[in-house]
Amino acid sequence: MTEGFRFKQVLVVRLDLDMGRGKAAVQCAHAAVSAAEEARTHLHNWWKSWIEEGQLKVAVKVPDLDSILDLERKGRSKGIPVHLVKDRGLTQVPPGTITCLGLGPAPSDVVDSLTGNLALL
């Protein structure tokens, strides 16, 4: 259902933190804004194409911190804009907890090679 989009952004959420719906939504929004800003400033053509296509975003889940950090490393090695969200810890999780990863916007096939096997959030 997301065929035809040349660029996408994937928001990767840790499931082991048991965040509530609103908390998860805010973490995804942080990841989206910051990874998009990373793209806008360093990979402007990717960002521009993604905006023009309508900003396809997908939220997926991983079981733990190691899974997030592994995806972050792989994303960096492929030259994808990445942003790890560290929560202030005002609610639900301790300060500094890594809650979410933003990957992209980047070419869909590259993002899919990292996250295509993950379940939707």
Per-residue DSSP letters for the chain? --TT-SEEEEEEEESTT---HHHHHHHHHHHHHHHHHHHHHH-HHHHHHHHHHT--EEEEEESSHHHHHHHHHHHHHTT--EEEEE---SSSS-TT-EEEEEEEEEEHHHHHHHHTTSPB-
| Segment interacting with its own copies (CB under 8 A) among 57-65, 70-78, 109-117 | 57-65
**45 counts as binding its own copies under rule CB under 8 A:** no
Q: For its own copies, which is the closer residue by CB, 31 or 114?
A: 31
Q: How far is the CB of 105 from its own copies (least distance, A)?
A: 10
Taking CB under 8 A as the criterion, the residue among 12, 43, 59, 68 binding its own copies is: 59
Helices 108-115/65-77 angle, 10° precision: 150
Ranges within 81-100 binding its own copies (CB under 8 A): 88, 90-91
Contact residue for its own copies among 12, 24, 62, 68 (CB under 8 A): 24
Residues 11 and 113: beta-carbon distance below 8 Å: no
Applying CB under 8 A, which of residues 12, 17, 28, 80 lies at the interface with its own copies? 28
* Footprint of its own copies (CB under 8 A): 1-2, 9, 11, 13, 21-22, 24-26, 28-34, 36-37, 51, 54-55, 57-61, 88, 90-91, 120-121
